[in-house]
Amino acid sequence: MSGELQFSMFDTPVGVCGMMWTAQSICRFSLPELSPEATRERLLRGMSAVESEPKGLAVDARDGVLALLETGNADLSAIPVSYGALSSFDISVLETIRPLAPGQTTTYGDIARELGDVALSQAVGAALGRNPVPVIVPCHRVLAANGKLGGFSGGQGLPTKRRLLEIEHARTGHERMQPDLFD
């Protein structure tokens, strides 16, 4: 990661989110925690960044996230991201899910199979839990084999994952999720 780290907090339909970037890429994204202060703390944990008004690719990323959270349909796969010090395995997992469209889901096992070994399902879940840019890299679209939500480390955990999938009108298992379940 090169260049000065900058960050911004912004309102979305699901609450206050935070984003950190350089001139080249988005390097962190935080979903709403219990308070905007907690979201900010999570975003900045272990990092030193300057609060700034988004410019360039940061505007595109923010606007894309807002469009996704408002409409349930925005393609964020072209937004440049940086994975920091993640392992090559973690990066391969995250790059495997980048093309998943809003509303489309896959499973931990499907990703493991695509990477060559279904026994890697738990390692896939752990890699997704280290995703520094949730929503932009859509780890919320990965489910357990039985259609259950599985895990989620972003925002407030599984309620956040469920809400993101509802916004996208995603299918889990055999049932379509109710878009207004938590409204």
Per the annotation, the verdict on 139 as an active-site residue is yes
How wide is the angle at C-alpha 128 spanned by C-alphas 163 and 139, nearest 5°? 35
Catalytic residue among 139, 142, 164, 177: 139
β-strand partners of 7: 20, 51
Handedness of CA 111, 117, 118, 123 (dihedral sign): negative
Residues designated as active site: 139
